[in-house]
Structures are given as C-alpha cells and as structure tokens.
Amino acid sequence: MSNYLDGLNPAQYDAVTQTEGPVLVVAGPGSGKTRVLTYRIAHLIEKGVAPWEVLSLTFTNKAAREMKERIEKVVGEKANQIWAGTFHSVFGKILRIEADKINYNSNFTIYDTDDSKSLINSIVKELSLDSSSYPANAVLSRISNAKSNIIPPAKYSNNPVLLKEDADQKRPHLYKIYEMYVSRCRKAGAMDFDDMLYLLYALFIKNEGVLAKYRNKFKYVLVDEFQDTNQLQYGIIKLLTLYENSPCNICVVGDDAQSIYAFRGATIDNILDYEKDFKNKGIKTIKLEQNYRSTHHIVQAANEVISYNSRQLKKSIWTDNNEGTKIRLIRTMTDNEEGKRVADLILEQKNRFHLINREIVILYRTNSQSRVFEEYLRHFNIAYRVFGGMSFYHRKEVKDLLAYLRVVINPNDEEALKRIINYPKRGIGDTTVDKIIALASAEQIPTWEAIRNVEVPQRTKNLLQEFLNMMEIFQQKSQTINAYEVATMVARQSGLLNELKSDTSIEGQGRLENFNSLLDSIKEYVENDAADVDEERNISNYLQTVSLYTDADEEKNETDYVSLMSVHAAKGLEFKSVFVVGMEEKLFPSFMSMNSPQELDEERRLFYVAITRAKQLLTITFSNSRYKFGQLVYNDPSRFISEINESHVESNISSMKTKGVEVESDSFGSSKSGIKGNFKIVKPIVLPKIDISKFSPSSPEKIGAGMKVLHLKFGEGVVKNIEGASDNRIATIHFSELSEENEKKIMLKFSKLQIVE
C-alpha cells in the first residue's frame, strides 16, 4: 500500500491525523475536502479502529458510495464495514433495528413526496376544507419545517405564533391536518423522510439505553457538508457525541461560505456555533485555504465577494495556480440577446480554447431562466442537458398552457384535449374521458363532436357543455387578437393561473415562474420587431414556432453536452468554463431576499458558490431588460458585481462603468464571437436613454410617412414610408441614433411607437 499521507499539504495533513477530540475542518472550495475525509477514515482504520466503530454521514448516496470506494483503495475490504451513508439511510437503518421501541414494525414503509401529498389531499377532503386554500405542497412544506425544528403536533397546536402565521395564510386548520397526518402515517406503519430524523431524535431522548448503545458503538463520527445540516440533524449528532465524559471524537467538515440551503431548513448557525458548543472539549479548528481548482483571478474575486458577509468564519483562500483569464462581464439589452450572446461565446470558447461541451455550464438563479438559453443552443446545434428540472418546454405547467392553446386552434387534438378537459379539476372524470375517446373512435367522428354526443349523466353533460362554451369563446377570440392576448386570456379564464398561484410552496413558486416565463416568451414573440414582417403574430404561428423546440429529436445517448442548471444544483461540481447569467437586482439576489440582511447574505453565498465552480473561464452576464409577467422590466445590475475588484474583470473592450466594474457592452446586431479567430473590437451601438415613465405609445393608425416617432429600443426615428393595408401596415423607419442598421422595417400593429412631431 502506498503511503496515503504523501502529497498532503500541511493543513490537509493535520485534518487527516488529528483523530482525537472534536475537530472543525473549514474547507474552502477546491481545497481537497473529499480527499481529506477519505484519508482521515483510512487513517483511523490503519491505526487499529474497527471499521464498524466509524460513522460517516453525508448528504447524497453518491458521495457516500464514492467515499467508500476511495477508502477501499487504501484499506481494502474493511471499507465495507464502515457505517457510511446519508443521514436518512443510516438513521433509517437504526430505526429498523430499534423499531419496536417506537411502536413500529421493522418493515415500515417510507413515504415519498407523492405519497405524502396524496395523504394530505385525502385529509383535506375528509375535513371538508377548500383544497385551493390547503395545497398539498404548501401543507407538506409546513409540516416538514415543524418536524425539522422539533415541533410535534401537540406543541404546534399550542404555539400562538405558528397558529397566527397559518391564519394569516388563510390556513387556520393546518395544525389539525398535521395531527391527522402523523396519526395516519403511524396507523399505516409508514414514515416520511422527516420522520426518519424526528423519530430517531425522539427515541434517543426518551430511551437512554438505546442512546448509550449507539454512543458506545460509534467511537468516531464524521459529518460532511456540515453547513447544510438542520437543527434536527445537529441535535442527533450532539446527542451521540456531546455528553459527560465523552471523548468527543467528532470531525465536521464544511464551509460556511457555501451554506445555501436555508429554504430546506438548513441553518448556518450550526457551523458558526460549533466551536462554541465544543469549546470545553478542546476543539481544534483546521482551515483548508489552498484552492487547487481555480485561477488566481477567480479565487480573488470569490474572496472579495464573500468578504461583504457579516457573520462568517474568517479565512483567506489562495492558489498557486496561474493568474488565468480575467472574468468576462457582459451587459446585454434584453434577455433574448443574453441567450444569443452566451451561445455565441460557447462556440468561441470551444474553438479558441478547445473545450468540449461537458466542460461548460450555464448557471442561473431560477430554473425558469433556462428557456432562452435552450432556444439558442438548439439554434446553434449545441448539445445540452437541463439538470435539476426538466427541459423548459417539457415542464408540466408549460405543457398545460400549450395544450390549451393547441386545442384552441385544433379542437380535435386528442392528446391535448385529454390533458386539459379536467385540469384544473372541473368534475369531468377519467371514465367520461374514456367514453368520449371510445365514441370518437367507434363512430369515426371528431373528438369535439363526441363530447357533444356522449351518453353521460346530466350533471356531467352540463360540465362538458361549460367546458365547450369556454373553449369556443377562446377559439372565437383567437381570430381577432394576437398570440399573447389569447394566451393571457386562456391562462386566466381556464383557471390555470389561479391554480398555480394557490400553491405558495417553494416548488409552487418555481412552477408559477415557469408559467409566467412562457407568457413572457409569447409577449416577446408578438413584439419582436426583428422577426419576419410577413408573419402574423397569431397563436397558430406561435405554436408552429415553438414546436421546433418541443418536437425536436433529442439525443438520448448524448454524453457530451453543455450543462444547464440552477446554482443550487451545481453545488459540489466544477467546470472549465462557467457562465453565471441573469445577474440583476431582484433576480440575483432574488427579490425574496430583500427582507433581511441574513437572506441577502445567503444570496451572496449562493453567488460565491456559482463563481467558485469555475476552473479556468468565468463569464458573468446581465440584461438591461427582460419580460416579467408580460411587462418589459428594466433592471439594475446585481450589487454583487460591484463587489468584485475591477482588476479581475476583463476591460480591454469598449466598456461602461457599473458601480466600479468594467462591463463589456454588447449591443443589437453586433457579434464578437471571433469563431474564426477574428477578435477585433467592435464599436458598440449607442442606444438612447429613454424615460419609460414619460413614454406613451400612439395609435398605429395615426402614424404616417414623414412623422418623427420614438421607439423604446431604437430611440427617435423618421418614418420614411408605409407599405400594406389595414392591420398589416409595415413602416420603414430611419433611426439616426443607431450606429448601424439605421433603417428598420416594423409592423405597426405589434409595435409601440410614440409620435414626437
């Protein structure tokens, strides 16, 4: 066996060999944390510690498996006897052994999220409560939070603060649902994921004999990603290790600067207070500060950003790696242009730096941002994969609205019709739908006609007629209004929008964001001046356009792809090239984080995680404007950008100052991709500064040749001529303030122009 201690730096060596007593290893990004954990366990076994006396807790099964495999290379098959796994897998194993102590059978069922939501829906129905006021996601999130904070049903129902919060959310009976949920789980011999922590904690508290058994068994305890633990997880760890006459052989490894899971119940207080909790036990703190992953510019930028957080464990990350390429900061005018620019740069990097797709990642704050990048990657034939969620156009909430729109233009679209006929729920059951499909098939008649003629009870017939009436109104209106107006009308009147708004959970908010992002893309389609002027912006043409994305063949076996994911999903990963996109106020940091300094600090830690994923190339982008809820919203660059010293930011291109940083100013129609090795500086287009509050669009019918008009994007222009008749009038306008492509053809029906004179 090779000497596994060779090659460790001094801090890593200390972290591996300091086996006795409590140890805190503060591991910065790219500092060799996994190596330290692996070698520390191997070192314990080499010293004579029995493998089954070692407890190693991680947050993913993958991490636990990889750790065992690495340890096995050092100590052989002994690695298989280590108690290593996730909190849930290890604690679940203990609960099965001790099941009789908590009045469970050892073969208890584990409820997944869908099981839990189904049970909650049943309880809501039994209590005759309004399901729209008690959406399963929101209720489950509340119950989970209560368990994570060690609040049982009895304590919950007597807590005036919690009851008031529920009442404010129009859910005064949530305590009763919680009580019934716990009772029904126990009756069914089932536990949910939170129970596997909560019940073990309760067992240890109530049964000293069981607690003593596992204190004696686990002589050494190691916890990975300690900054991600919640109150309950840390409570169990302290019960096992922090007691009178305990040797306190516990080592926790983590980085407070990467604590980003508060929305899951994780608390940064655990790692910040750890030294104080174990102070009387002779705690030793070891800091892994050497970064082996990133270039000097990236490491220093990360240090500068995180220094703005108030509560943190002070450390100074450094690297022996080369200086590297400066961080590229790009401003675009719209989110659509941002998508194109990123795709351009990916092609440039692949050519210039010989990168392959899987070495590149696009990181965003919310999953709804993926749409525009997916579109341009497809356009440029760049293979990609969306992580942490389905491809945008495959997400349920997106497909639901598109299905409605498909039926609007084609009532006989059977698959789309089946999807929407009872969603949101309107009392039309599966049996009725099956009868409709069977009748259409047997009589060889359109599905729409089958709905009218199917033999069903009168109540169901009335419900079907209401559905038909609604859809026929949509169909009629679609003949006279544009795609966005149709989509907005359908979203509201079908009940889809209210259905999504009723779910206030984190997941529900994400679905609502995706839904609104789709509406925004339709709005952009309608108002896109650069699109084909001969194309009418109706719903039929929109669906044809979007079908290129939804129906495109996907490479199922593709292994070389650009990754698209949220920053949360990127935790623990690394890439040669990282794009952090949408760096704007109220997006990153999120508008939901503006409530407190603590929440803003977490957003900054999230940005820190994003930039430290990069090994060689880091690109940060933000957009001056993007569509939100159907409105073109103008954005300020994220405050986090200004926290990076300009010495680490690329400034060899024409630039603008943004709070102390140099920003590459990209513009309409320009391309600096340099795919063929041409990296010349292109003079940016100067765009006018327009006060949107004073902008008032004029009626398209009043606009004529020779008039001076104002456009939000292009500034002042003169109408040279107008072609076409009635609704299809196209104006040729000369915009003198643009540095190139001064003349633009604009369809007046869909454009916003203000007559100046």
pLDDT tens, position by position, 515-559: 888 888 888 878 765 444 445 677 877 776 675 454 333 444 457
List 385's β-bridge partners, or say none: 563
pLDDT tens, position by position, 277-336: 998 888 999 999 999 999 999 999 999 999 999 888 888 899 999 999 999 999 998 888
3-state secondary structure (DSSP) of residue 634: strand
pLDDT confidence band for 725 (50 / 70 / 90): low
**Average predicted confidence (pLDDT) for the chain:** 83
Confirm whether 277 is a catalytic residue. no
CB atoms near residue 3 (< 10 Å) = 6
Confirm whether 636 is a catalytic residue. no
Catalytic entry in 58, 233, 258, 621: 258
Q: State the DSSP code for 188.
A: T
pLDDT tens, position by position, 398-413: 889 988 988 888 887 6
Please, are residues 589 and 639 in contact by the beta-carbon 8 Å criterion? yes
Per-residue DSSP letters for 265-329?
TB-THHHHHHHHHTGGGT-EEEEE-B-SSS-HHHHHHHHHHHTT-SS------B--S---PPBEE
Residue 685 has pLDDT above 80, yes or no: no
pLDDT tens, position by position, 69-112: 778 777 777 777 888 888 888 888 898 889 889 888 777 777 77
Cα separation, 412 vs 446, in Å, equals 6
Highest mean pLDDT among 185-189, 295-299, 589-593, 663-667: 295-299
Catalytic entry in 98, 166, 224, 650: 224
Q: What's the average model confidence in pLDDT over 49-55?
A: 90
pLDDT tens, position by position, 457-476: 899 899 999 999 999 999 89
Catalytic entry in 70, 537, 605, 613: 613
pLDDT confidence band for 741 (50 / 70 / 90): low
pLDDT at 394: 75
Q: Are strands 83-86 and 250-254 parallel, antiparallel or unpaired?
A: unpaired
pLDDT at 552: 38
Catalytic entry in 17, 18, 19, 34: 34
Give the residue among 491, 494, 436, 492 at the shortest CA–CA distance from 460. 436
pLDDT confidence band for 632 (50 / 70 / 90): confident
The HSE-up count of residue 624 (CA atoms within 13 Å, CB side) is 19
pTM over 0.95: no
Cα separation, 292 vs 615, in Å, equals 9
Highest mean pLDDT among 440-454, 581-595, 718-732: 581-595
Catalytic entry in 98, 225, 503, 716: 225
Catalytic entry in 12, 33, 295, 300: 33
Higher pLDDT, 265 or 103: 103
pLDDT tens, position by position, 350-376: 999 999 999 999 999 988 898 899 989
Cα separation, 590 vs 365, in Å, equals 8
Confirm whether 447 is a catalytic residue. no
Collect all residues with Cβ–Cβ distance below 8 Å to 308 and sequence separation of at least 6: 604, 643
- Residue whose token pair is 């109540």: 459
Confirm whether 33 is a catalytic residue. yes
Residue 727 has pLDDT above 50, yes or no: yes
Q: Which of 143-157, 234-248, 498-512 has the lowest mean pLDDT?
A: 498-512
pLDDT at 669: 31
pLDDT at 653: 39
Alpha helices in 103-207 (DSSP H): 113-126, 136-148, 153-157, 160-168, 174-187, 195-206
Q: What's the average model confidence in pLDDT over 208-220?
A: 93
Q: Cα dihedral sign for 609, 612, 613, 618?
A: positive
Residue 155 has pLDDT above 90, yes or no: yes
